[in-house]
Amino acid sequence: MASRRTEVAIEKIIASCDGNMRGALEALMLVNEHLEAELHRIYAVMSRIGQPDEECFETLH
């Protein structure tokens, strides 16, 4: 079961897409793609400056 905070966030996302579940899903997938690309850029920068602690990577996920 999702937390109340998650439920509210889901309702807001669906409402922002005029109740269109497919539109809400598409919006979330686009945001996820953007975040994944950002992580790849961070990993690329980190690999150029040296190997980070394992702890550092855990906080990014």
Q: 39 with 47: CB under 8 angstroms?
A: no
Can you read off the two tokens belonging to residue 18?
Answer: 């005029």
Is pLDDT above 50 for 61?
Answer: no
At 10-60, the pLDDT tens digits run: 999 999 999 999 999 999 999 999 999 999 999 998 888 866 555 555 555
Closest alpha carbon to 23 in 35, 14, 31, 34: 14
